[in-house]
Amino acid sequence: MSGLRLLVVGGGGREHAIVWALRRSPLAKEIYAAPGNAGIEQVAACAPIEAEDVDGLLRFACQQAVDLTVIGPEAPLALGIVDAFQAEGLRVFGPTQAAARLESSKAFAKAFMQRHNIPTARYAAFDSYDRAAAYLDKLSSPVVIKADGLAAGKGVIVCDTPQQAHAALRHVLLDGAFGAAGQTALIEERLSGSEVSLLAFCDGRTVVPMPPARDHKRIYDGDAGPNTGGMGAYAPAPDVPPQLVGEIVRAVLQPAVDGMAAEGAPYVGVLYAGMMLTADGPRALEFNCRFGDPETQAILPLLETDLLDVLLACTEGRLDQLEVRWKPRSCAAVVASSPGYPGSYPKGLVITGIEGVDRDDVFIFQAGTAHSAGQLVTAGGRVLAVSALGDTLTEALRRAYDTLGGIHFEGMHYRRDIGRSAAL
């Protein structure tokens, strides 16, 4: 097969990394992105269609005779974009709407984990505030309150006290803070330990794990301040050796893929297990039904095998016949964000210093960027990530930070401690 026409849906740093990796494939002829961003525009033809505009994307894919569409974010997956494309006979990488419930409904995911003996925190789900509050009053240990549906990463409230837990329940179930996503609330046992993201390619049957990655969700150094979409990541996490990866595949990812197949919703795409490494062993905190952001920016530079080969093998159910190889190196991705993010922030700040940076070992993956009057400017909260490869994590981090030192926009913020605890 040669000369494929590809479409990548989304417009963040994750999608820039996906397009960048696909661009290296000799099988890729034309690459489109929708809506893309100013960085993606340099390596793909961007169409101004929003990622949630399933009908618009379907029309575009038909018009352009796209051979494979790759879905970046969760929202179109939850809307059933894969089902819509498949109904038109189009090839698409990502789970169906039914399979994407592993992310789009936390109540579904928790009940599923229980049915399939996947280790996870104890929980109960409620749609009545009174019953939830009564249940909470009987618990003595700390809890986490979660809105059932997609809430752009904001639907999880980790509580220190029963008062906070009651307030969180009111927020979700009575105030309707998350709209339809909060019609059901989960009360979960609060676990402790370090977290790791284990992403895997899946073809409905076979699970091929990627290098374990670690995200940094808080805005400030030392994990202080509010949650963000992710301020940096590195892979592989040195405290998650291959044997532990194997254990998570056996206990979590493979049973999830087998369970979805047994329940009539075979899982094809990237399955992302958010894990907590507790004193009692690894526990699944959540599933995501897509590549992580910014994990992808730290994982894909490590992929030795052609990404397009891997994605095709997934959609054709022959992942067991492909050897997926990874570079024996480390990769670190550090995100630069707009002043004020994750609160409100200005846009249109001129970005300098990124020309000529891309070398063999350093890549800039843009997120919230745009062109204005011939200049590259900020256009979102997370503006770009600098990803760097190194023979060690320390070397990768040094390269990423050295490069960031030469990039500027007014009020640019980035964490100084990405990977620090692991690199020591």
Assess 116 for contact with ligand AMP (CB under 6 A): no
CA 289 to chain centre: 8
Q: Whole-angstrom distance between the N-terminal and C-terminal Cα of the chain? A: 46
Assess 215 for contact with ligand GLY (CB under 6 A): yes
Whole-number Å distance between alpha carbons of 279 and 286: 18
Closest approach, Cβ 106 to ligand AMP, in A, equals 7
For ligand GLY, the closer of residues 213 and 389 by Cβ is: 213
- State the residue number with the nearest CB to ligand GLY: 292
- Whose tokens are 């091929």? That residue is 208
For ligand AMP, the closer of residues 188 and 306 by Cβ is: 188
Contact stretch for ligand AMP (CB under 6 A) within 179-187, 190-198, 200-208, 331-339 = 190-198
Whole-number Å distance between alpha carbons of 51 and 48: 9
Closest approach, Cβ 293 to ligand GLY, in A, equals 5
- State the residue number with the nearest CB to ligand AMP: 286
Assess 293 for contact with ligand GLY (CB under 6 A): yes
For ligand AMP, the closer of residues 158 and 261 by Cβ is: 158
Assess 293 for contact with ligand AMP (CB under 6 A): no
For ligand GLY, the closer of residues 53 and 295 by Cβ is: 295
Contacts of ligand GLY in 366-385 (CB under 6 A): none
Query: 105, 288, 338, 366: which one contacts ligand GLY (CB under 6 A)?
Result: 288
Assess 270 for contact with ligand AMP (CB under 6 A): no
For ligand GLY, the closer of residues 191 and 299 by Cβ is: 299
260 closest CA partner among 137, 419, 100: 100
Contact stretch for ligand GLY (CB under 6 A) within 24-32, 108-116, 244-252, 291-299 = 291-299
Contacts of ligand AMP in 36-75 (CB under 6 A): none
Contact stretch for ligand GLY (CB under 6 A) within 52-60, 287-295, 307-315, 402-410 = 287-295
Assess 15 for contact with ligand GLY (CB under 6 A): no
Closest approach, Cβ 220 to ligand AMP, in A, equals 16
Whole-number Å distance between alpha carbons of 111 and 318: 29
Contact stretch for ligand AMP (CB under 6 A) within 59-67, 187-195, 241-249, 316-324 = 187-195
Q: Is the dihedral of CA 97, 102, 107, 113 positive or negative?
A: positive
Binding partner of 56, given ligand GLY, ligand AMP, none, CB within 5-8 angstroms per partner class = none
For ligand AMP, the closer of residues 228 and 387 by Cβ is: 228
Query: 61, 78, 144, 271: which one contacts ligand AMP (CB under 6 A)?
Result: 144
For ligand AMP, the closer of residues 79 and 156 by Cβ is: 156
Whole-number Å distance between alpha carbons of 414 and 396: 16
Whole-number Å distance between alpha carbons of 147 and 416: 32
Assess 231 for contact with ligand AMP (CB under 6 A): no
Assess 198 for contact with ligand AMP (CB under 6 A): no
For ligand AMP, the closer of residues 191 and 393 by Cβ is: 191
Q: How many of the other CB atoms lie within 10 Å of CB of 239?
A: 13
For ligand AMP, the closer of residues 36 and 381 by Cβ is: 381
Query: 53, 295, 306, 361: which one contacts ligand GLY (CB under 6 A)?
Result: 295
**Binding residues for ligand AMP, per CB under 6 A?**
121, 144, 156, 158, 188-191, 195, 274, 285-286
**Binding residues for ligand GLY, per CB under 6 A?**
215, 230, 288, 292-293, 295
